[in-house]
Structure 1
């Protein structure tokens, strides 16, 4: 159990409710149930506007915690994550054209290779277990990515995505940015979900084709077939007077701080006013 203060957990609790409803739909559908598609959830109990209690996800670790050491261990010849981010930050700060940013990004990819596939060879020594866990990881990423896209989840950096060291399933945490609130941040989030080179490396040789694509299609088809059910539930939640669906100053500062820490290892605080979200 984790007691958390200085943070509003009501939105996290709402997202867990939505995930549980989606899991019920996935279980009742013979195709998605046969493919073992579901979203890992955890308990969230808001105690007030600024505090609450969360279930501790035992046996998990942030993907970023593993990648931080794995890149140094398996690719010592590559440039450091800080150096890679610094190059992209320089392009952003100097307002380089998009074409130049793409050239810099592609150049970085050549000297900063993915290493997340080593997570599976480290933790699952038996070939059968290795294959099963890699498949479970692929299905988990596909399902959570599609549901996250529909729910407009933002702030999906590698410290907000845990991986279960036993089952290899991913668990998303910290839902302070949802329902496309990320689009009104100082640096708008326009990507639908996280699918970086390291995330894809865990899928195996087929990459995004094969199991990942099929699971994405099945999940998205299920959500489309049950859109009336989901819309009804979401409309009730979004119209609840107990919830204020805005990007709070705290959430905005947290997102900005996370990006700054990931890029420069420093601390920052964004104290700008809260921005309203108009999309329901």
Structure 2
């Protein structure tokens, strides 16, 4: 008789399988595929890969204006700025990011390589960049249910409204909304992702997200700085501020409805 294998499990079913099953396995785990979550990510120790090589520490003025300089692969430095009602967060984990005190609302900058001009890029380019397992929202797996709700290609800046669902430590699904403001510098797309949970979207979150997105500005200048890890001002530093937490701490805080964790977004 031929053994009949069970049908492949759906993604959601796999993600919801109790983590306790791992404890009963005697054999060692096989090597993880490239897209899987590493142990360091699950423990909250890995830093999101946002393409950011920072010249100096980002700064925030009293009025809320945030500014930073990031090295681009094209031999240029991008001067980045945006307005935020939330405080700039610091530490080796973060690049350029502002976050509400309760960790729910905020905005961050991401740089991604692209072929072609900004207006011709497919919508999936933005979803894949933002919703990657190695991205800002990928602590417990790549976000699911990603959708582009609107897409404005006017005036040299591309503005998209997106929705997606992130996963918590217990595999609970947390719907989110965000506004993406993207500009092109050579082969690099520099974008600000500003958003909050879906429940906060109509409670002031949308207004804050759109305000930050509309203020996003990027200019460039020629530079001899190399697009390499050693160029980043944080290179070689192994510790962050005393209040620095992990994405694991943050997602647990969000689930419990408690204050400030790290994941925040």
Which of the five TM-score ranges fits, normalised by the shorter chain? under 0.3
What TM-score do you get using the length of structure 2 for normalisation? 0.25
Which structure's residues are more often helix, by fraction? Answer: 1
